[in-house]
Amino acid sequence: CNRQVFDENFLMAVATIGAMALALYEDGDYTEGIAVMLFYQVGEWFQSYAVGRSRRNISDLMDIRPDYANLVGADGKWQKVHPDAVAVGSAILVKPGEKIPIDGVITDGTSTLNTVALTGESLPRKVGKGDEVISGCINTTGLLHIRTTKAFAESTASKILKLVEEASSRKSKSENFIAKFARVYTPIVVLAAVVLALVPPLVRMAGMGLAPEWGTWIYRALTFLVISCPCALVISIPLSFFAGIGGASREGVLIKGSNYLETLSEVDTVVFDKTGTLTKGVFEVTAIHPEKINPQELLHLAAHVERFSTHPIAASLRSAYKHEADDCRVEDVEEIAGRGVRAHVNGKVIYVGNEKLMQDVGAAWHPCEQSGTIVHVAIDGEYAGHIVVSDVVKEHSAEAIAALHRTGVKKTVMLTGDTKAVAEQVAAALKLDDVYSGLLPQDKVAKVEALLKEENDGRKLAFVGDGINDAPVLSRADVGIAMGAMGSDAAIEAADIVLMDDDPLKISTAKRIAQKTMRIVHQNIVFSIGVKAIVLVLGAIGLASMWAAIFADVGVMIIAVLNAMRALFV
């Protein structure tokens, strides 16, 4: 069926038929022939079981595929349609217990989402109005009204399923070697067995004048064939990688092929983008430094002045001040380009912006020692203080860096377009080995190129990013790792590995899985070849029976398959 005549099935078939024929010719004892078939079937069962376990971990992802969407019409009524029929910008309804069919933004309702199939994270995620949601999550509690932001084919669930389907097509160097080895090895073994069956008897008969003993040498040749079956290698090596990919998917790490799993195990340097990768990519108020008024009053004035701005900094100020709907009068709001905002609040003129705005109004401002974006505030031209707004480091980022070093990563680097002060503060907090700031997308590629030239001894470089500007760098690195939950489509497409919950700690998990998988692969290669070499020699000189041959083939295969199954567990 696979168009390959000389494979392990051919060797086993010849050995079994030969053993049966010898039994019929000599003493009628079919035990050895039956044992060859029986134990081979036992080995096949172990292989099927292991593949099934691996496939279940990957096929769990298939549960994210939505079957329908509840499309809401202009009249407010909804109907079930295929997700393909839902256009971008449509209103859909997701009831409790249903899968979110298409990526979108919640327009009404609150609920908790089960994201375990996507991220491997069992803790439910709370969502409400204005939150982005991705397809494949299961709505567990409340009714959600969602405005779609992508077509079904471009949604997260569809893209993940496509990546899963393509994963098995990318073979590792070890798998490719074993496949080529088996194609060359099997014909050589068959030829060697024929020589072993014919040459010694003919030599005895022609050169020494002795009886040829055909039965003895044919038996040895058949034993030689059984011993030399490459089952353990051709089955356990691909299975090891398959199990590793399956185990990773259970942890919320999607690896697009066994070649990337093998390369990840050799990674020596990990390079990170900052925003959205090591940090949340969301600005928050991290400090308030007033001059003559209390901190809450300073935040109150800044939030009111920035009430109508769409800038991320303004959004962070409004988010920090929860009492926007008070009785303050905010009038004559004016945005000053490149400076900030001016407004009248309860009759006073409030200025909120950068140091240039403070200089323009004559406010005696002073710099802040903390890193971040500094928002200065003046009241009627008199300096009132400043607020520090900065990107917040993810909870597990520091732990992720430490965990990577424990897996053998020697160098961790951060590349960012942010200012030097902010970059160095983040790098110091996370204990990174090196940091480069003020970089444009093309500068990041150049820096990765330079780091790749420094790599030696077969070690590899991985880049971790999430933005559309990270796509070129992800493609250039030996291994590209993308944040999958809220990362850009371009980054996910360009990456070799996708973290489904954007947790940088999963990088070390993926590397541990890769290292464990490669250890298992090497163990199986050494064990399989070592045992076969010893028993082959013994079989050729007549010291190994068919039972020893069965162990050397099927027994070794069962042990190798059971060893390969360990890759399923982290």
Tokens found for residue 20: 């049966």
The Cα-based distances of 522 to 236, 329, 360 in angstroms read: 11, 73, 69
| Residue 215 contacts residue 25 (beta carbons within 8 Å) | yes
CB contact at 8 A, 54 and 248 = no
Which three-class secondary structure state does DSSP give residue 342?
strand
Calpha distance 426→412 (Å, rounded): 13
- φ, ψ at 37 (rounded to 5°): -65, -45
Q: Report d(CA 174, CA 153) in Å as an integer.
A: 34
**Are 564 and 236 spatial neighbours (Cβ–Cβ below 8 Å)?**
yes
422: closest CA among 271, 275, 269, 272? 275
For the chain, give me the number of helices (H) and strands (E)?
19, 22
Between CA 264 and CA 273 the distance in angstroms is 18
What residues are labeled active site?
273
**DSSP 8-state secondary structure symbol assigned to residue 99:** B
DSSP string, 51-95: HHHHHHHHHGGGGG----EEEE-TTS-EEEE-GGGPPTT-EEEE-
The secondary structure of 176-240, three-state, reads HHHHHHHHHHHHHHHHHHHHHHHHHHHHHHHHCCCCCCHHHHHHHHHHHHHHHCCHHHHHHHHHH
Cβ atoms 568, 57 nearer than 8 A: yes
Q: Distance between CA 438 and CA 420 in Å, rounded?
A: 7
What distances in angstroms separate CA 66 from CA 57, 101, 128, 143, 482, one per listed residue?
Answer: 18, 5, 21, 17, 24
- Separation CA 356–CA 376 (nearest Å): 10
Token readout for 424 is 């160095």
Which residue type does 313 have?
Answer: I
* Calpha distance 50→243 (Å, rounded): 8
Q: Hey, how many other C-beta atoms are within 10 angstroms of the C-beta on 126?
A: 11
**Residues 43, 557: Cα–Cα separation, whole Å:** 7
Please report where in the chains the tokens 């039994």 appear, as a residue. Answer: 23
